[in-house]
Copies of this chain bind each other. A is one copy, B any other.
Amino acid sequence: MESVLEQLKSARAAWASLSQATTGVKNLALREMAEGLAAARAEILAANGRDLDEARQAGLTGALLSRLELTDKKIEGMVRGIRDVEALEDPIGRSLSTVTRPNGLQITKMSVPLGVLAVIYESRPNVTSDVAALAVKSGNSIILRGGKESLNSNRAIAGILRKALVKAGLPADCVQLIPTPDREAVQTLLTATDLLDLVIPRGGESLIRTIVENSRVPVIFQYKGVCHTFVDESADLKMALEVVVNAKTSNPAVCNALECLLIHRSAAARILPALAERLKEWGVEVRADGPARSWMPGAVEAKEGDFGREFLDLVLAVKVVDSLEEALAHIQKYGSRHSEAILTNDYANAQVFLKRVDAACVYVNASTRFTDGGEFGFGAEVGISTQKLHARGPMGLAELTTTKYLILGSGQVR
């Protein structure tokens, strides 16, 4: 894929300017990007219409088609998203620490851009502008590789963003879309260790696993979110009902939704019947083990495959455990290291849960649905990482930076 290599080279050349751009210039580019998208609504919708026609001919329906579809409202959301990023603090040029050593050397650890990023994503075309805005704000060039269904939409959006960069005095090649649906293009990205600094895949587990398996370039990812909530013996009934129902139903299609409820045997009789009723009102299908079913009329029998499964739907696995230890062991075995919660009024159990659960986010007495860059106060979310290097949990702009040490001397020798 000669052309992808050329794109990477020009992205790196463009980075020389972008990495040195002031906050003012980057914010100007973001304003131009927002205004450009707002002004080109008709053009974008026309391109999206071509994608939708092709998708319908290919037999796409339902959720897939609606993810692909852009509307006036979605374009407004894209514009607002860029303006939100403009309003965020610049993550670059921040001193993370400064020490003056006994010999007088002053050593400052400074946040700087990473370089060239690639984002590989699936059908939603609004990702194109979301991640381009985050890249520009953090001083990184970006190579966009969207789904083949949304290629016309992405081409239109990327073209507008590139014109906006030029209006702000930055090189267009800071933002580039891979213009073809070839799979080889991805392979070229994943082996371009000298040109590409980071790959961020966004999409289903199989896409992500393929990328992690094949990439020589560092990858930050989450495979999936199989979130548990353990209702301890001492859990408050009302809180348990509200938190569990919220975690399961407020947006079941996302990675921080609850997938499996664990409940202490001593709390089952007190909590499960009322919970079963509430879940039924919300249309949740309960798949429970034997002991839980005796307290949850209408629950179906949980099969082994229901534990550790990311339903992404109004389905909840339920299991009764005899102890905190058993809950911890279950989470260790079936969890995805994403978000895990305990509902308890027992201080010691809360501490043990916080300390021993190995996950990006560990909760006491709250819904796992809060694992989100916006809810954490980051202003924007690049994604969520369930791996442990560089970034873990919700990723904001700071996670798109690296550091360099600046050492100011006056002739020191060693």
Contacts and interface: CB of A to CB of B under 8 A. Distances in A.
Interface of A: 19-20, 99, 101, 105, 107, 112, 114-115, 193, 197-198, 212-213, 216, 218, 220, 236, 238-239, 242-243, 246-247, 250, 354-356, 358-367, 369-371, 375-377, 387-390, 392-393, 402-414
A242 B413 CA distance: 7
Secondary structure of the A contact surface, majority rule: mixed
Nearest to A220: B389
A389 B220 CA distance: 10
A356 B20 contact: yes
A389 B20 contact: no
A315 to B, nearest CB: 19
Most chain B C-beta atoms within 10 Å of own C-beta, residue among A112, A367, A369, A404: A404
Contacts of A19: 358
B411 A403 contact: no
B105 A366 contact: yes
A409 B107 contact: no
A67 B414 CA distance: 23
A218 B364 contact: no
5 contacts: A107-B377, A359-B404, A362-B406, A366-B412, A390-B390
Most chain B C-beta atoms within 10 Å of own C-beta, residue among A247, A387, A407: A407
Given A355-B20, A361-B405, A403-B392, A411 B370 contact: no
A20 B356 CA distance: 7
A279 B289 CA distance: 79
A384 to B, nearest CB: 11
A248 to B, nearest CB: 11
A306 B38 CA distance: 54
Contacts of A408: 363-366
